[in-house]
Chain A
Amino acid sequence: MKEYNFAYLDEQTKRMIRRAILKGLAIPGYQVPFASREMPMPYGWGTGGVQVSAAVLTPDDTLKVIDQGADDTTNAVSIRRFFQRTAGVAVTEKTGEASVIQTRHRIPEQALREGQIIVYQVPIPEPLRFLEPSEVETRKMHALEDYGLMHVKLYEDISQHGDIATAYAYPVKVEGRYVMDPSPIPKFDNPKLDMAAIQLFGAGREQRIYALPPYTKVVSLDFDDYPFQPTKADHACALCGSTSSYLDELITDDAGGRMFICSDTDYCATRVEDAA
């Protein structure tokens, strides 16, 4: 453990990141610029999440890392090993036992509780980016709370497709103020954003951190006559039988055979164990 400072980053850098996190918590949903470091992994592979985790980890923490809901995916395994090597912290696959959870693209099925921190890896932090390419302009729009363009986009979706054509990274409004990208989680997970744990979002390549304190009011954008609807495949999990969890669809043969299983591997395995 002498080879690395605790959790890889130097203390000065962690301090800078913690300041950004505190500012983010003080202004929920606001994107705070920070001096993102180059990490020993490619940009786009969770460098923002890793820096945020490094800044909040303490030697007593227990870390869980998931990608697509699973603990055994490449990105999750390498980030978990990274912190085992550089911070020596305990790791777990159990959602309930983790004090810090770093995630890519999912929120665990088991409700998080007070005292837990969930860190999201974010590729594109700006919810308005595909509507307005200029950062100068989008920052102005946030400052003026000018979200007309976003509502026009959602309205055009409905007039063209009969539905809001966004399935993941579905935009939310935070405490009635900032429109925020919840990272590319399926919209099924959006209702969980109202939670008891601290939520931190890190975008390394784009050099932004934002945050949601516990019990922050998070509302998915919609219209009165087209209310937001979280959706999932209309099946039960083939392994644990759950009808309320988010499912992955697996193709099992060349004849169109398929099965649906939980994307949250810990949730599914725990249910199978409990049933046995």
Chain B
Amino acid sequence: MDIPELGFSIEIGEITLTECETVNQFQGSKTQPPQFTRGYGLVFGMTERKAISMALVDRALRWAELGEDYLGAPAQDEEFVLYHCDNIQATGFLEHIKLPHYVDFQSELELIRKLRRDAQQMQEAAE
């Protein structure tokens, strides 16, 4: 930790991290010549697979800056990646399904009954 008033750093603790840099092939694009590119991942603890995954996703997200085509892959979509990596965000929608929904269910029930009644009348009229 840097202490600006004192002009030096002190150690307040140690954490284990796993860092990963991947070297990825890149065929080049309209704007860039062929070259190697890098992805970067940094995670808490000794979790190499997680760090590699993060580096690969990081590299995939850099498609625009490298002039690559967007292939519609989820890993190229920042929004998709962020929503699916946020576990707290992701649990919220599931969690709310534990609450009652009988008011909206009742309105769906009325609608389904009406649609089925209409469909049956149409069928009977056709026969």
Contact = CB atoms under 8 A, between A and B. Distances in A.
Q: Do A and B come from one complex?
A: yes
Interface string B29-43: 000000000000000
B106 interface: yes
A153 B113 CA distance: 21
Given A73-B100, A75-B99, A44 B106 contact: no
Contacts of A167: 104, 107-108, 110-111
Q: Which 6 A-B pairs have the closest CB atoms?
A: A44-B96, A43-B92, A186-B107, A167-B107, A205-B92, A168-B104
Interface string B94-112: 1111011111101111110
B104 A169 contact: yes
22 contacts: A42-B92, A44-B91, A44-B99, A45-B99, A69-B103, A74-B100, A105-B101, A105-B104, A123-B93, A167-B110, A185-B103, A186-B104, A186-B107, A204-B92, A231-B110, A231-B111, A231-B114, A233-B106, A248-B103, A248-B106, A249-B106, A263-B106
B106 A74 contact: no
Nearest to B94: A44
Given A67-B100, A69-B103, A231-B107, A161 B79 contact: no
A163 B118 contact: yes
Nearest to A73: B100
Interface of A: 38, 42-45, 67-69, 73-75, 104-106, 123, 134-136, 161-163, 165, 167-169, 184-188, 204-205, 231-233, 246-249, 263
Nearest to B122: A162
B115 interface: yes
A27 to B, nearest CB: 23
B88 interface: yes
A123 B122 CA distance: 37
A168 B88 contact: no
A161 B116 CA distance: 9
B47 interface: no
Contacts of B115: 161-163, 165
A232 to B, nearest CB: 7
A44 B95 contact: yes
A50 B39 CA distance: 41
Contacts of B114: 163, 231
Given A161-B115, A162-B115, A232-B110, A184 B104 contact: yes
Contacts, number: 99
A73 B102 CA distance: 12
A79 B109 CA distance: 29
Interface size of B as a range:
20 to 34
Contacts of A163: 111, 114-115, 118
Given A44-B93, A75-B99, A167-B110, A136 B79 contact: yes
A184 to B, nearest CB: 5
A248 B118 CA distance: 23
B24 interface: no
B96 A123 contact: yes
Contacts of B111: 163, 165, 167, 231
Nearest to A137: B79
B47 to A, nearest CB: 25
Nearest to A157: B115
A101 to B, nearest CB: 16
Nearest to B91: A43
A205 B91 CA distance: 9
A190 B111 CA distance: 16
B95 A45 contact: yes
Contacts of B106: 186, 233, 246-249, 263
Nearest to A260: B106
Given A135-B79, A162-B115, A162-B118, A42 B95 contact: yes
Nearest to A106: B103
